[in-house]
């Protein structure tokens, strides 16, 4: 197994109390596979990624669990050791390529810097390799583009540059956090295709974080659905979309407009609001919004249970059986 | 034929930008470059398109928040660009806007009551007591509790804030609301709530919407008709079902095919991948402005500027080849 995240807990100690941004999250991913993590704002999906990269911002702290990456116990590595892995063996792509690129260096200098740091390449060799990387991610005329600054490029092109940076050292793991959210739909289609192709050709593991179930359905092999810091459902993509078992997943899927024979007049909704992590309810975190709620949900938090076939769900109500009846 | 609420003819908005560090060279951004459309009473027309296509600029032009470079905007029988300030203020009662960002569009120093009451005060409607009652009714209408009145915007979540924005927009009982990406800043589970609210109000109060959005699923759900914009021009305009079932412009076809489908078995479907980026509205390509990215481009497309042609029942398309597959 390339990456094993086991019972990860990342908490923030704030004046409002302890915020459990990531609370007991476990998953695994193998090379060549794409794991989708889906959820709404504040569900902990980005903080899970930051924890794996050991980039949790203060006052956040990883307070429990294990992260094993390619034989390394990530939580035990020194800052120096983790820095050597980051950008080399594991890389990250962020939502907004404009703020993650340095505006005062050319594209070429920024990618070459990684190659010089991690691979010890000389300047000319690094630039040569940079050109071929840009070619790989579909940037036309790379010889000219390496001399350009980030502001001279479009959003889609900048995201391609970010991807080129991420794959520059052929990492075994890439984490892409909402990589297409800032992009237009026709450009999004290009970038998703590119990411998928690279996962195949480089045999890289990809963790794709998104709020868009459509993107997840089209790209991921497996999916984890997160809510309020926890994984509430986990299954293969095919299984999750064919047979969603958690009320939250079901609600999310239902709230997307559908166009069958008859057009539905009203969209189905999940009632209430996305909760603040500082004001979570007792018991199951989803209980105030859940339409299947029973007494037990208000008192005790359910565990993530395997319903068989590797389909995990964190819910007291067995929606699987109620369906078949 | 019923009287159209809004008729837009030959609408253009060009912005000048100075190029280079010391100004000098002036370039022109063709944000909106000659568009025509109508919105009837009680109708939802959506403008869709990617960033820089001019859809938001169009929304602002219609409310005369910015002045057009050219063209007519006839609202309730009057060209709003020709009326004086006093008349404009009267017409503004009938046209309102809901903004994308519910965090930036509400004054943080005002209570919710003050925010929703403000348009009533500006237009001198009712006594203090009557206005209070009106605000209470509006908040109930948009699904907020009465104790919201004394609270401030920061105490609300994004979805609730957008409800406050909606309450303010409907306070004057307008005939037309420009909704500029009203749900794109909201979480998925909250989007559906706000869309339902907008649809309910539209049906109950017979408001027309100019709905500006890039989420094509939501557009399909809420619209009567849809106009697809690209680089300042309308490429295709049709009834919503017609457009989604029989898109005729290659750009519309690509746009619709690129919507991610929340169903893994949909992976088999053919996505029309467009090459390249959206060009800058400063350097508009010659001929058909979509030709550099168009998978169906022929030589003529580089020279001939296509005009919107009617393909029956109000389905208009600006493509010289559309007849070949219509």
C-alpha span between A26 and A55 (Å, rounded): 18
Q: Is A19 a domain residue?
A: no
C-alpha span between A162 and A139 (Å, rounded): 12
Q: Is A118 a domain residue?
A: yes
Residue B253, preceding peptide bond in cis (omega within 30° of 0): no
pLDDT at position A325: 37
Pairwise CB contact (< 8 Å): A257 & B218: yes
A279/chain B closest Cα distance in angstroms: 13
Q: Is A279 a domain residue?
A: yes
Write out the two tokens for B324: 């070949």
Asked whether the predicted pLDDT for residue B22 surpasses 80, the reply is: no
Last residue of a domain, one of A168, A191, A207: A168
Q: Nearest by CB to B261, which of A192, A214, A289?
A: A214
Whether A259 and B244 have beta carbons less than 8 Å apart is answered as: yes
B295-325 residue pLDDT tens = 999 999 999 999 999 999 899 999 999 999 9
The Cβ-side half-sphere exposure at B241, using a 13 Å CA radius, reads: 6
Per DSSP, which regions of B58-149 are E strands? 70-75, 78-79, 95-98
Residues of A in contact with B187 (CB under 8 A): 40-41, 211, 274
- A259 close to B (CB below 8 A): yes
Give me the total of CB pairs closer than 8 Å, taking one residue from chain A and one from chain B: 116
Whether A64 and A134 have beta carbons less than 8 Å apart is answered as: no
- Section B111-139 average pLDDT: 94
C-alpha span between B199 and B272 (Å, rounded): 32
- A141 close to B (CB below 8 A): no
A216-251 residue pLDDT tens = 999 999 999 999 999 999 999 999 999 999 999 999
Q: Which residue does chain B place closest to A187, by CA atoms?
A: B277
Long-range Cβ contacts of A129-135 (<8 Å, 24+ apart):
A129/A168, A130/A164, A130/A168, A133/A164, A133/A167, A133/A168, A134/A107, A134/A160, A134/A161, A134/A164
Contacts (Cβ under 8 Å, ≥6 apart) of B186: B102, B158, B159, B162, B194
Distances B67 to A187, A223, B14 between C-alpha atoms, Å: 32, 49, 10
Q: Is A154 a domain residue?
A: yes
Domain around A161:
104-168
Residues of B in contact with A185 (CB under 8 A): 50, 214, 216, 255, 258-259
B277/chain A closest Cα distance in angstroms: 7
A174/chain B closest Cα distance in angstroms: 22
pLDDT at position A25: 96
Residues of B in contact with A263 (CB under 8 A): 221
C-alpha span between A54 and A209 (Å, rounded): 17
Write out the two tokens for B14: 């060009």
- B197 close to A (CB below 8 A): no
pLDDT, averaged per 10 consecutive residues of chain A (325 residues), comes to 96 90 95 96 92 94 96 94 93 87 93 92 92 90 91 88 93 95 87 93 96 94 96 96 95 86 80 86 94 94 92 92 49
Pairwise CB contact (< 8 Å): B199 & A193: no
A151-209 residue pLDDT tens = 988 888 899 999 999 999 999 999 999 999 888 888 899 899 999 999 999 999 999 99
Q: Is A310 a domain residue?
A: no
The secondary structure of residue A263, as a DSSP letter, is B
Q: Is A14 a domain residue?
A: no
CA A236 to the chain's CA centroid? 16
Nearest to B180 by CA among B77, B75, B99, B292: B99
Contacts (Cβ under 8 Å, ≥6 apart) of A167: A91, A133, A136, A137, A174, A198, A202, A204
CATH of B93-215, one of 3.30.300.30, 3.40.50.300, 3.90.1150.10, 3.20.20.140: 3.40.50.300
- Section B88-95 average pLDDT: 94
Pairwise CB contact (< 8 Å): B188 & A266: no
The secondary structure of residue A196, as a DSSP letter, is H
Q: Is A135 a domain residue?
A: yes
Q: Which residue does chain B place closest to A275, by CA atoms?
A: B157
Place of tokens 């390394």: A72
Task: Give just the sign of the alpha carbon dihedral B176, B182, B188, B190.
Answer: negative
Q: What ipTM does the predicted assembly reach?
A: 0.85
Identify from B21, B44, B264 which residue to disrupt to test chain A contact, counting A C-beta atoms within 10 A and taking the largest count. B264
More confident residue, B248 or A141: B248
Start and end residues for every CATH 3.40.50.300 domain found in chain B: 1-89+224-326, 93-215
pLDDT at position A41: 86
B202-238 residue pLDDT tens = 999 999 999 999 889 999 999 999 999 999 999 999 9
pLDDT at position A324: 46
Whether B230 and B285 have beta carbons less than 8 Å apart is answered as: no
- The number of domains in chain A is 2
Q: What is the Rg, in whole angstroms, of the alpha carbon atoms belonging to chain B?
A: 21
Distances A8 to A56, A70, A88, A309, B191 between C-alpha atoms, Å: 13, 17, 23, 24, 31
Asked whether the predicted pLDDT for residue B80 surpasses 50, the reply is: yes
Nearest to B57 by CA among B45, B43, B69, B75: B69
Contact residues, A window 262-321, toward B, CB-based 8 Å cutoff:
263, 265-271, 273-274, 289
- A4 close to B (CB below 8 A): no
- B3 close to A (CB below 8 A): no
A109/chain B closest Cα distance in angstroms: 23
Last residue of a domain, one of A144, A168, A192: A168
Identify from B214, B251, B258, B262 which residue to disrupt to test chain A contact, counting A C-beta atoms within 10 A and taking the largest count. B262
Instruction: State the CATH class of domain B1-89+224-326.
Output: alpha beta
- B50 close to A (CB below 8 A): yes
Percentage above 70 pLDDT, chain B: 97
Residues of A in contact with B193 (CB under 8 A): 269, 271
Residues of B in contact with A213 (CB under 8 A): 188, 262
Last residue of a domain, one of A150, A168, A186: A168
Contacts (Cβ under 8 Å, ≥6 apart) of B160: A273, B144, B148
C-alpha span between B255 and B207 (Å, rounded): 28
Q: Is A71 a domain residue?
A: no
Pairwise CB contact (< 8 Å): A185 & B259: yes
Contacts (Cβ under 8 Å, ≥6 apart) of B256: B216, B244, B247
Pairwise CB contact (< 8 Å): A154 & B277: yes
């Amino acid at each position: 197994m390339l990456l094993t995240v086991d019972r990860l807990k990342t908490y923030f100690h704030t004046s409002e109390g302890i915020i459990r941004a990531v609370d007991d999250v476990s998953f695994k991913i193998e090379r060549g596979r794409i794991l989708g993590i889906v959820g709404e704002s504040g569900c902990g999906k980005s903080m899970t990624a930051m924890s794996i990269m050991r980039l949790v911002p203060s006052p956040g702290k990883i307070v429990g669990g294990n992260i094993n990456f390619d034989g390394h116990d990530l939580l035990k590595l020194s800052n120096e050791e983790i820095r050597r892995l980051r950008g080399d063996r594991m890389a990250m792509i962020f939502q907004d390529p404009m703020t993650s690129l340095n505006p005062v260096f050319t594209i070429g200098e920024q990618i070459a810097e990684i190659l010089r740091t991690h691979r010890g390449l000389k300047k000319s060799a690094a630039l040569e390799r940079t050109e071929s990387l840009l070619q790989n991610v579909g940037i036309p005329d790379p010889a000219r583009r390496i001399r350009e600054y980030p502001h001279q490029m479009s959003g889609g092109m900048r995201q391609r540059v970010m991807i080129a940076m991420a794959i520059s050292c052929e990492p075994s793991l890439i984490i892409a956090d909402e990589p297409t959210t800032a992009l237009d739909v026709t450009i999004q289609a290009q970038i998703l295709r590119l990411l998928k192709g690279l996962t195949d050709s480089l045999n890289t593991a990809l963790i794709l974080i998104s709020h868009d179930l459509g993107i997840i359905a089209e790209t991921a092999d497996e999916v984890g659905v997160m809510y309020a810091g926890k994984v509430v459902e986990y299954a293969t993509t095919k299984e999750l979309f064919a047979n969603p078992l958690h009320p939250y997943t079901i609600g999310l899927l239902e709230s997307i407009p559908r166009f069958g024979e008859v057009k539905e007049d009203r969209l189905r909704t999940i009632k209430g609001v996305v909760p603040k992590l500082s004001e979570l309810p007792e018991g199951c975190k989803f209980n105030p919004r859940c339409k299947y709620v029973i007494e037990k949900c208000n008192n005790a938090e359910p565990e993530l249970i395997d319903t068989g076939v590797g389909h995990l769900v964190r819910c007291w109500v067995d929606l699987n059986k109620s369906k078949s009846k | 034929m019923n009287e159209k609420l809004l008729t837009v003819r030959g609408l253009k908005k060009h912005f000048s930008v100075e190029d280079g560090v010391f100004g000098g060279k002036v370039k022109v951004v063709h944000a909106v470059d000659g568009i025509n459309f109508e919105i009837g009473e009680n109708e939802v027309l959506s403008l869709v398109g990617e960033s820089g296509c001019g859809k938001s600029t169009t929304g602002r032009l219609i409310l005369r928040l910015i002045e057009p470079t050219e063209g007519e905007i006839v609202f309730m029988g009057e060209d709003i660009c020709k009326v004086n300030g006093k008349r404009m203020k009267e017409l503004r009662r009938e046209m309102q806007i809901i903004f994308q960002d519910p965090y930036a569009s509400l004054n943080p120093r005002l209570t919710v009551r003050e925010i929703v009451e403000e348009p009533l005060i500006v237009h001198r409607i009712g006594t203090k007591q009557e206005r209070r009652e009106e605000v209470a009714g509006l908040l109930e209408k948009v699904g907020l509790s009465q104790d919201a009145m004394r609270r401030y915007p920061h105490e609300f979540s994004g979805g609730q804030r957008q409800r406050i924005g909606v309450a303010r927009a409907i306070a004057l009982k307008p005939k037309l609301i420009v909704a500029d990406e009203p749900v794109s800043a909201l979480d998925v589970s909250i989007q559906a709530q706000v869309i339902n609210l907008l649809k309910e109000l539209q049906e109950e109060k017979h408001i027309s919407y100019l709905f500006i959005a890039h989420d094509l699923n939501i557009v399909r759900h809420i619209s009567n008709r849809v106009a697809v914009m690209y680089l300042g021009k309308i490429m295709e305009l049709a009834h919503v079902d017609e457009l989604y079932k029989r898109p005729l412009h290659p750009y519309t076809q690509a746009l619709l095919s690129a919507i991610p489908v929340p169903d893994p078995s949909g992976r088999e479907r053919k996505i029309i991948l467009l090459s390249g980026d959206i060009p800058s509205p400063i350097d508009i390509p010659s001929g058909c402005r979509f030709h550099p990215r168009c998978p169906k481009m022929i030589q003529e497309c580089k020279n001939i500027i296509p005009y919107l042609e009617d393909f029956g029942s109000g389905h208009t398309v600006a493509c010289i080849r559309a007849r070949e597959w219509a």
